[in-house]
């Protein structure tokens, strides 16, 4: 089963030379600075390289971050920070607020911003892989793994690194708690989409699929609520996606709940459940159109034409028709036997 995911743009950054002529006085120190510059450049190049895979990304990330640690932590294994932490100014743009950069003279800010982009790369890699037709089981597992890695990175930054910034995160920008939380919840929801698709392919119990779909819809609703207090001009397109997916998976939940009711010969209740499914599917369809017409950061797409969307529409229609047919065959319990 193919998937469609909304993606915000990557963060952009200004070049950093790591040239410290007044400080660097030995060949070994010069080599470290040169390695820092080249490993940073290499990592930035991989973010937009469509041939990059998770192994390449991990190697490049480890290479740069292992060197950057020397600018953050003292080398004598004490709890003191490095004397080099504030030697370099770093500039990074925001995923939602366009080309206006934030700047901090702090290596921790660089670590957080670069790791944020690494997490975004994993979400984009998952999206590319999940959008393929006839995705294999191994590829589905890779999508799930990549989304879990991304969520883990965002969570680690939120809990362990962002609190260490001398200059607090600006409100409404990437490193603010509401934004980080939304990214984490979205990754969790999309990973669960992969689980649902697998459960459908393996023809698991409709009750289980309905429960997973309902939980996924709640994830999307939480992510949308987390963004609700932010500036609409920057979040409206993202929120359209989250609301769309909430309606979509609510429709899934009602559809599969209806199948469970039908299997228990509760045709009337099954029909009502499928009618609710139809209602939420229609809402999702309207939101698909709104999403495509909304300007703002993120993916340009027409989700209503995507296979994942069309398949649910057919499933709801066919299941409702089946319920109505079977309801017509049900004997009237009030009818007396002759």
Domain spans of the chain, in order of start: 1-203, 205-328
98: helix, strand or coil: coil
Of the candidates 144, 134, 10, 23, the residue with the CA atom closest to the CA atom of residue 83: 23
For the domain spanning 1-203, the CATH number is 1.25.40.280
* 330 has a pLDDT exceeding 80: no
Q: Which of 42-46, 117-121, 132-136 has the lowest mean pLDDT?
A: 132-136
Q: Report the predicted TM-score, pTM, of the whole model to 2 decimal places.
A: 0.91
* 337 has a pLDDT exceeding 60: no
pLDDT (tens digit, 9 = 90+) per residue, 53-88?
A: 999 999 999 999 999 999 999 877 666 888 899 999
Give the percent of the chain with pLDDT over 70: 93
pLDDT (tens digit, 9 = 90+) per residue, 120-143?
A: 999 999 999 988 877 888 999 999
CA atoms within 13 A on the CB side of 215: 14
pLDDT attached to residue 327: 72
Q: Which residue has the higher pLDDT, 211 or 311?
A: 211
The answer to whether 11 and 95 have CB atoms below 8 angstroms apart is yes
Split at pLDDT 50, 70, 90, the class of 3 is confident
Angle of the 232-263 helix axis to the 177-201 helix axis, nearest 10:
30
């Amino acid at each position: 089963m193919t998937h469609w995911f909304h993606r915000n743009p990557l963060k952009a950054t200004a070049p950093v030379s790591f040239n410290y002529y007044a400080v660097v006085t030995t060949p070994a120190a010069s080599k470290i600075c040169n390695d820092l510059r080249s490993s940073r450049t290499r990592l930035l190049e991989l973010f937009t390289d469509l041939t990059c895979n998770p192994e390449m990304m991990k190697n490049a990330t480890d290479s740069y971050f292992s060197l950057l640690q020397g600018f953050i932590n003292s080398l004598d294994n004490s709890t003191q920070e490095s004397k080099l932490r504030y030697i370099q100014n770093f500039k990074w743009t925001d995923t939602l607020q366009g080309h206006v950069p934030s700047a901090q003279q702090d290596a921790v800010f660089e670590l957080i911003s670069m790791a944020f982009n690494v997490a975004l790369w994993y979400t984009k890699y998952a999206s590319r892989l999940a959008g393929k037709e006839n995705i294999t089981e191994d590829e589905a597992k890779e999508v799930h793994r990549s989304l879990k890695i991304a969520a883990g990175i965002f969570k680690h930054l939120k809990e362990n690194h962002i609190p260490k910034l001398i200059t607090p995160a600006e409100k409404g920008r990437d490193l603010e708690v509401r934004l980080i939380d939304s990214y984490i919840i979205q990754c969790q929801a999309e990973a669960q989409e992969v689980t649902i698709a697998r459960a459908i392919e393996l023809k698991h119990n409709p009750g289980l699929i309905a429960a997973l779909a309902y939980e996924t819809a709640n994830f999307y609703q939480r992510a949308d609520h987390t963004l609700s207090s932010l500036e609409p001009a920057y979040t409206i397109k993202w929120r359209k996606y989250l609301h769309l997916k909430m309606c979509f998976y609510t429709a899934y939940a009602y559809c599969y709940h209806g199948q469970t009711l039908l299997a228990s010969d509760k045709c009337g209740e099954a029909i009502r459940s499928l009618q609710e499914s139809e209602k939420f599917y229609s809402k999702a369809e309207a939101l698909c159109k709104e999403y495509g017409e909304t300007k703002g950061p993120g993916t340009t797409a027409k989700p209503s034409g995507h296979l994942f969307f069309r398949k649910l529409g057919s499933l709801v229609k066919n299941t409702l028709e089946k319920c109505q047919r079977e309801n017509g065959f049900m004997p009237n319990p009030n009818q007396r036997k002759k």
